[in-house]
Amino acid sequence: MNVTVSSDMQETQRKYIYGSVLVLLLVSILTVLAVMVSKGATQAFDSSFIMELRNGQNPSLPLGPAWLKEMGRDVTSLGSYVFLLFVVFSSLGYLMILRKRGEAALLLMAFVGGSLLSAFLKVLVSRPRPNIATDVQVFTASFPSGHATLATVTFLILGVIFAGAHENKALKVYLVAIMALLTLMVGLSRLYLGVHYPTDVIAGWCLGGAWATACGLFASRLRERSAYIK
């Protein structure tokens, strides 16, 4: 039994170490991007990348047929505040019915905190949106992408919560992978529609990933302390 306890402790320590390293790495990338964007060092690359995705004859339209553009709009809506609020509150109701208050608190903390961090960075960097005429309405600054940030936070936290309810490792990986794919698709849709630069989306992924990981580590620490006190 002592061997089992020691093995569990080592696994927990490894989880915290890997998680902390991941948070540090993502925050470092985000910081470098914020500094470079503020100085205009990425503007040439960003603008060139965005224009590669535009219709050469009509830059207000993305490449590809009309149905592809509509698909992009459908995908990007998965990262909108309206949809994510619905997902969060419906998930909170589900978790509260199951009396999983810890998981509900984790989801709420992650979403609210991610929203505030994204808004703060948008004001701090104050980057204008790409100078492209599109029919997609935008209301905030460009850096970081709020869609990419909140989709990453929400879907990854939900993936971890739902994966934690199952013992099957393959199912755990599958659930987290599906949520990660959703975050990837939302971010790419913002580039395709021409409402964000690549560095905006990458920064959103980094911010969302770092915050989701930090929230997960914090929740795990609280659960361990609670179990120890009992």
pLDDT tens, position by position, 189-210: 999 999 999 999 999 999 999 9
Residue indicated by tokens 């971890």: 160
Burial class (CB in 10 A: 0-12, 13-18, 19+), 168: exposed
The counts of H helices and E strands in the chain are 8, 0
State pTM to two decimals. Answer: 0.90
Rg (CA), the chain: 19
Asked if 115 and 122 touch (Cβ cutoff 8 Å), the reply is no
In the 8-state DSSP scheme, what is residue 77? G
Please give the share of the chain, as a percent, with pLDDT higher than 70.
91
Asked if 11 and 184 touch (Cβ cutoff 8 Å), the reply is no
pLDDT tens, position by position, 149-158: 999 999 999 9
In the chain, what are the domain boundaries?
A: 72-126+135-230
